Structure 1
Amino acid sequence: LRNISASTCLFLLAPVQMAPTPASMCTPLKTLNDSLSHRRRYMKHNFPINYTIRVHQHEVFKLSNISRMRLQVEGLDELVLQRLWFQVNQGVLKKILRVMPERHPSRPYTAELEIRFRDAEGVFVHSHPAEVFQQELPEVIQDTWDHLTEEPDRVPESRWRYASPKSLLDNFCHTMHCLFSECFASKEAQQDYCSVSYWRKGRKKDLEPES
């Protein structure tokens, strides 16, 4: 993943190029979603109140970030955002695991979540031709990618943020539904998983069962 495409249109509302999600992606993503449904117990109840970890500013990846990128890049291919989603959350899971002692009650859960994430990433890579991952990225996406892959000791202090493990996995879950919505289609009316208001409704409980 390299090089920069100069054909970036800033703040232009344009249709998104929606590539169908390969059917093979849905099984690992639904398995991942099953794990994420328990995130409140493992990422909130097993940590001190107001506990936060340090992450790169681009690892605080919300629905609003997706909306902004779609506005900034005319005809942005959904596959590009999916690639970025995997890159972001790879770092998020590593950072959450890094702060957990071996005997932390949430460590087995997080380790299993990372395994399921890697499984989904492997299916994602094999679901597309290799040349897809060699294509140039739009400038705004490439800039984000470059920042995410910087060596930690080279990242300026201004680019670090503090976020709770629970909020990071909330972002993980919400953006997954947004970018792979075909795998989570409702039998009822079509849902806009990319809308913040959707997740504020009581319907979110249907996707986030607690146990």
Structure 2
Amino acid sequence: MVQLFTSACLLGGLLGLFLLAPVLAAPTPARMCTPLKTLNDSLSYRRRYMKHNFPINYTIRVHQKEIFRLKNISRMRLHMKEIDDFMLQRLWFQVNQGVLKKIIRVLPERHPSRPYTAELERRFRDLEGVFVQSHPPKVLQQELPEAVQAIWDSLTEEPDRVPETSWRFASPKSLLDNFCHTMHCLFSECFASQEAEEDYCAISYWRKGRKKDLQPES
């Protein structure tokens, strides 16, 4: 009887791992594609609202980790063997949550770009809600690799405690460019075209001007 009980427990544990593994390795949930494309539609107007409505060479102060580019993703994938796309997606949400808050913070109430940015943040929060609902609590609560957790902690640290050397200055337009490019990279299943498969994570893809096909005003 004891042996039978033990076998049943082992079988149940293995079954649990098999059920959880597809969740951890699964591509972007299909239900996320609609809010992702809606957010992408808003980002297509970022040149108009984040460049034309600001003084030339205007920049805002952000944490160095909030300048989150495609090369950051490439480096993390190369040097952090334990990291997967799901963990990078969680980090993407954390980074851009801070970016949007900082842009809104510098915009006066009557600034022509404030309604646009507020709408962008709302759509971002809607997407984050779908992301959370699309994954079991156990998956969302799993521990992050130490290196990723260090980035997470630095982003959530009180501004007064952030070392001066950790601050950088970047234009609102460049921050939203990073936002858009990394979104296409980390959620590429939702942006696949009928043409040959595109590598949205390749810096060369965006440098060639192909982004104009997806973001006409970028």
Q: TM-score, normalised by structure 1?
A: 0.90
Q: Residues of 1 paired with 2:121 and 2:86: CA distance?
A: 21
Partner amino acid, structure 2, of 1:50 = N
Query: SS where residue 197 of structure 2 aligns?
Result: coil
* The structure with more radius of gyration: 2
What residue number does 2:47 align with? Answer: 40
**Does residue 1:77 correspond to 2:84, yes or no?**
yes
Q: 1:18 to 1:200 in 2, by over 3 A?
A: farther
**Among candidates 166, 171, 180, match of residue 164 of structure 1:** 171
Q: After the TM superposition, which residues 96-111 of structure 1 pair with which residues of structure 2 at under 5 Å, given as runs? A: 96-111=103-118
CA distance in 2, matches of 1:210, 1:84: 27
Deviation at 1:19? 2.6
Q: Which runs of 5+ in 2 are unaligned?
A: 1-23
Q: Which deviates further from its counterpart, 155-164 or 128-137?
A: 128-137
Contact 2:82 2:145 in 1 (8 A): no
Greater shift in the superposed pair: 132-141 or 80-89: 132-141
Per-residue CA distance 1:142-179 (angstroms, 9 max, x = gap): 11001000000000000000000000000000000000
2:139 to 124, 132, 140: 132
Identical-pair percentage: 81
For residue 88 of structure 1, what is the aligned residue in structure 2? 95
Q: Does the aligned pair in 2 maintain the 1:55–1:163 contact within 8 Å?
A: yes
**What does 1:59-74 align with in structure 2 at a 5 Å threshold?**
59-74=66-81
2:79 counterpart letter in structure 1: Q
Structure 1: 5+ residue stretches without partners: 1-16
Number of positions where the alignment pairs a residue of Structure 1 with one of Structure 2: 195
SS of the residue corresponding to residue 61 of structure 2 reads strand
Quote the Cα distance in structure 2 between the aligned partners of 1:20 and 1:70: 16
Instruction: Tell me which amino acid in the other structure corresponds to 1:175.
Output: T
Please report the TM-score for the alignment, with normalisation by the length of structure 2: 0.87
- 2:153 alignment counterpart: 146
- Give the C-alpha shift of residue 202 in structure 1: 2.4
Distance apart, 1:73 and its partner CA: 1.4
**Which residue is equivalent to 1:117?**
124
Q: CA RMSD in A?
A: 1.2
Partner Cα distance (1:42, 1:19) in 2: 35
Q: Which has the higher helix share?
A: 2
Shift of 1:18: 5.1
